[in-house]
A and B are shown apart, each in its own frame.
Chain A
Amino acid sequence: MTQAHIEVRDLTMAYGSTLIQRDLDFTIGRGDIFIIMGGSGCGKSTLMKHMIGLLTPARGEILFNGEAMWECDFAYRQSMVKKFGITYQSGALISSMTLAENIALPLETYTDLTPSDIRDVIALKLALVGLAEFGEYYPSEISGGMRKRAALARAIALDPEVLFFDEPSAGLDPVSARLLDDLILQLRDSLGATVVMVTHELASIFAIGTNSVFLDPETKTMIAQGDPNQLLADCNDPKVQMFLRRGELLEEA
């Protein structure tokens, strides 16, 4: 059993009086590639936003390295969040800045590095994602796949403990999606980071996922948890099977 890195305990999420998900309870181990999956609109991205401290739980708690995120004060929570690297679905790079400037942003804000050292770190991060020559480009001048990799370079700028991805493969061709999966895997292995990923891409889920949770939009709670490949083999829940088999049970029915 790996050491717990993030623990979600009895979490209920709501927007005002609208319940999104309730009674979520799971553990993400250190070094896991944890997949949050479920049908459209079930609250996957909302769960991720709760985990990175953007939204407040209606009930329950999220523990990071054993410390409750919502019991501590704002400043301490910010220091926790600094250990997270986040890439959003669209990349969310600042469009008025070059890729190098985007990566420099967290380095200038949170470290005492000299401008020369920052340039060296930027060069390394861009090289890690295969964009060594594109530091002077603006996000609008590069392709969607490159934007995702640039966003990943920004996310790993501070060598985070946990990397969060919201739909990393969305909009990418299969080859680019596969290359991105490989990159995530290599970064996890070399940085020793934990990865939390919201995705629908079955190929990615089975290729790199080591643990997962399945959110159900109808019952508004989690209905399965575990290694995705194991869930495919063992889980008896028809909704989970339908999802993991890309609706094949529908055809059989």
Chain B
Amino acid sequence: MQELNISRLPDDTGWELALTGKWLLQRGDTRVAELLNDLKTKVAAGERLTFVDAGIEEWNSALVVLIEKVQGYADEHELKVDISSLPTGVRQLRALAASHPKRKDMSRRDEAKPPFVERVGLATLAWWKSTRVSMAFIGELLFAVGRMLSGKTKLRWRDVYLCMEDAGPSAFPIVALISVLIGMILAFVGAVQLQQFGASIFVASLVALGMAREMGAMMTAIIMAGRTGASYAAQLGSMQVNEEIDALETMGLKPMEFLVLPRFIALLIMLPLLTIFSTVLGIAGGSLVALLMLDITITQYVEQMTSTVPLHHFVIGFVKSLLFALVIAVAGCMNGITCGRSATAVGQATTRAVVMAIVFIIVVDAVVTIITTVLGI
């Protein structure tokens, strides 16, 4: 048990603070508040406070914290503090804490929150800056593609194949599972309604149209945004943190051509392929429901689908997948390349990449749907 007793010094020149027991941090009671209250009521300005080791069994920073607080109070109330009879280690720690020069101008404790108008202004400037960064990135990417097409850039096809493997075959199982389930869900939802009108056969049209025009491309893109887009942002972000991107630049290699272009090309090839698989598997999932729940044969299902869903719906889905690939690659790579230099920044870049990709996938999908509706296709 720790104890602290305050009493008048025998020579009446001040107060004695006698410490006994264990003064340890872990005990959860540094007795600071209690002591400061005592000082307020008992000690007058100009008096001396003398700490006395009256049987300290163990001590650690808890004791030094107590002394620091008393010193702070003493400075404010013109008291003198004497710790010369305390253990050497305590005195050394206090001396060490006081030995470093103070740099008041560096403190952020008193920094006030900027006013509302200033914060709006700062947020607007930050938004404008990030928009310019995005525009510059897309511009640079277009230049890189142009240089590649004109043969001025030597693309590392080995990197492209590795990225294709990661964005294609590795992603296939999850895309396949989700697609089959989406096809089945579409068929279930349609079947409940269409059965009431004796039009169950139109489940084939519903599933095929839904998968071909919308769900095949969109679901694959959303899966890939969470999987591959996030992975691009994390990979490039980590390279930024480890100064690998700086190293590439100093070696005269353009990160845009060395890192972004292979990922961009890989996704542009693999996402449409995955979308085709997704559409086919979604239709197959729908056919399972039709076969098992609605007593529709496979032949009837395929005939209904081919007669009511022309090929251009599949082409629209394919075109969308190309646009989605572009969105995911740009969001992933851009947020990775422009990432800050800390572990937190990598996390933030990855989150931004996924959110940006999903938002723009929906926006692009809406725009394409409006255009095709206006054009009547």
Is B102 at the interface (CB under 8 A from chain A)? yes
* Residue on A nearest B104 in the bound complex, by CB: A133
Report the stretch among A36-44, A109-117, A215-223 that lies at the interface: A109-117
Say yes or no: A130 contacts B68, CB within 8 Å.
Answer: no
Say yes or no: A112 contacts B28, CB within 8 Å.
Answer: yes
Residue of B98, B111, B342 contacting most chain A CB atoms (<10 Å):
B342
Residue in A110, A116, A159 whose CB lies within 8 Å of B61? A159
Residue in B89, B98, B111, B341 whose CB lies within 8 Å of A190? B89
Collect the chain B residues with CB atoms within 8 Å of residue A96's CB. 343-344, 347
Residues 83-122 of A at the B interface (beta carbon under 8 Å): 95-96, 107, 110-114, 116-117, 120-121
Collect the chain B residues with CB atoms within 8 Å of residue A124's CB. 61, 64-65, 68, 97
Say yes or no: B89 contacts A191, CB within 8 Å.
Answer: yes
Collect the chain A residues with CB atoms within 8 Å of residue B96's CB. 128, 183, 186-187, 190
- Asked, given contacts A117-B30, A127-B100, A133-B107, whether A95 binds B344 with beta carbons under 8 Å apart, the answer is yes
Say yes or no: A189 contacts B92, CB within 8 Å.
Answer: yes
Collect the chain A residues with CB atoms within 8 Å of residue B97's CB. 124, 127-128
Say yes or no: A192 contacts B61, CB within 8 Å.
Answer: no
- Asked, given contacts A133-B104, A133-B107, whether A120 binds B28 with beta carbons under 8 Å apart, the answer is no
Is B103 at the interface (CB under 8 A from chain A)? yes
Is B60 at the interface (CB under 8 A from chain A)? yes
Collect the chain A residues with CB atoms within 8 Å of residue B92's CB. 186, 189-190
* Residue on A nearest B103 in the bound complex, by CB: A133
Say yes or no: B30 contacts A113, CB within 8 Å.
Answer: yes
Collect the chain A residues with CB atoms within 8 Å of residue B64's CB. 124
Say yes or no: B109 contacts A136, CB within 8 Å.
Answer: yes
Is A158 at the interface (CB under 8 A from chain B)? yes
Residue in A112, A127, A140 whose CB lies within 8 Å of B27? A112
Is B311 at the interface (CB under 8 A from chain A)? no
- Asked, given contacts A114-B28, A128-B97, whether A133 binds B102 with beta carbons under 8 Å apart, the answer is yes
| Contact flags A139-174 to B (C-beta < 8 A → 1, else 0) | 110000000000000000011000000000000000
Is B25 at the interface (CB under 8 A from chain A)? yes
Within the assembled complex, what's the spacing in Å between the Cα atoms of A138 and B341?
A: 12
* Residue on B nearest A137 in the bound complex, by CB: B108
Say yes or no: B27 contacts A191, CB within 8 Å.
Answer: no
Residue of A112, A127, A135, A191 contacting most chain B CB atoms (<10 Å):
A127
Collect the chain B residues with CB atoms within 8 Å of residue A134's CB. 106
Say yes or no: B26 contacts A132, CB within 8 Å.
Answer: no
Is B291 at the interface (CB under 8 A from chain A)? no
* Residue on A nearest B92 in the bound complex, by CB: A190
Is B32 at the interface (CB under 8 A from chain A)? yes
Known: A133-B107, A136-B108, A158-B26. 7 other contacts (CB 8 A): A95-B345, A96-B344, A112-B27, A130-B100, A133-B102, A158-B25, A192-B89
Instruction: Spell out B's residues near A (CB within 8 Å).
Output: 25-30, 32-33, 60-62, 64-65, 68-69, 88-90, 92-93, 96-104, 106-109, 111, 340-345, 347
Instruction: Spell out A's residues near B (CB within 8 Å).
Output: 95-96, 107, 110-114, 116-117, 120-121, 123-125, 127-130, 132-140, 158-159, 183, 186-187, 189-192
CB-defined A-B contacts under 8 Å, sample of 6: A112-B29, A120-B32, A124-B97, A127-B100, A136-B107, A159-B60
